[in-house]
Structure 1
Amino acid sequence: MNAPLKPPVIAEILADACVSISNLKANPAAVIAEAQIRQVAILNRNRPVAYVISPGVWEHICDLFADHQLLREAEAALESDEEGVEVSLDDLL
Structure 2
Amino acid sequence: MPLLAPQCVSISDLKKNPSAVVEAAEGFPVAILSRNRPAAYLIPADAWEAIMDRLEDVELVEIVRPREGQEGIEVSIDDL
Scaled to the shorter chain, the TM-score interval is 0.7 to 0.9
- When normalised by structure 1's length, the TM-score is 0.70
Structure 1: stretches of 5+ with no match in the other structure: 1-10, 88-93
Q: In structure 1, how many angstroms separate the alpha carbons of the residues matched to 2:57 and 2:25?
A: 25
- When normalised by structure 2's length, the TM-score is 0.80
What residue is the counterpart of 1:74 in the other structure?
A: 64
Structure possessing the higher relative contact order (Cα contacts under 8 Å, 6 or more residues apart): 2
Structure 2: stretches of 5+ with no match in the other structure: 75-80
Q: In structure 1, how many angstroms separate the alpha carbons of the residues matched to 2:17 and 2:32?
A: 13
For residue 34 of structure 1, report the CA deviation from its aligned partner: 3.2
RMSD: 1.9
Larger Cα-atom Rg:
1
Q: Could you list the per-position Cα deviations for residues 17-48 of structure 1 after superposition, in whole angstroms to 9, with x for gaps in the alignment?
A: 00001111111111122345210000001100
Decide whether the 8 Å contact of 1:35 with 1:54 is kept in 2. Answer: no
Runs of 4+ in 1 over 6 A off after TM superposition: none
